[in-house]
Amino acid sequence: MTEQELDQFMGRLRSIGSRVDPVPPAVMSAARAAFEWRMVDAELAELTYDSWVDDRELAGVRGRGGRRQLTFEAPGLTVEVEVADGAAPGLVGQFVPAHRGTVELRHGTGVLTLAVDDLGRFTAPQFPAGPLSLRCTADAASPVETEWVAV
């Protein structure tokens, strides 16, 4: 098959796929939000622990319901988060080491700005379920952004 024939074939295949199994609007919205919110001036905090993935010894013992623990690490700051499961989840988190600051909890439909106390703690009673990312500013340090995760 020539390159031109392959391009035509792939074009027809994309056309069929978009008619038969289109990308859901919520997925497109989440993808756009992920790019829209990414800022170049922030350090990216990598997801280093996810209780849904990393607690393998509990696999089969309990379901995924309840609470999910996440740890994000960037140079100079670790962000630990616990998310309550549900249609409108809640969240508690902490900066390690403890710093005063702010957290922007970014989700598919907006942003919640959360205050971080002297012990590095912050809370969000409710926010819409779906993808979320945190933009953390601790004292005068450069901002840190977490990866997007689905909750």
Number of domains comprising the chain: 1
| Stronger pLDDT, 17 or 61, i.e. the higher one | 17
The answer as to whether 5 is a domain residue is no
Least confident of 56-60, 84-88, 100-104, 117-121: 56-60
The answer as to whether 15 is a domain residue is no
% of the chain with per-residue pLDDT over 90: 40
The answer as to whether 129 is a domain residue is yes
The answer as to whether 20 is a domain residue is no
- Is the pLDDT at 57 greater than 70? The verdict is no
Instruction: Tell me the average pLDDT across 118-138.
Output: 90
The answer as to whether 65 is a domain residue is yes
CA of 94: how far to CAs of 23, 67, 91, 98, 149, in Å? 36, 16, 10, 7, 17
In whole angstroms, what is the distance from residue 143 CA to residue 41 CA?
A: 7
pLDDT confidence bin for 59, thresholds 50/70/90: low
Range of the domain at 129: 25-150
- Is the pLDDT at 94 greater than 90? The verdict is yes
- Is the pLDDT at 14 greater than 60? The verdict is yes
The answer as to whether 141 is a domain residue is yes
pTM assigned to the model:
0.68
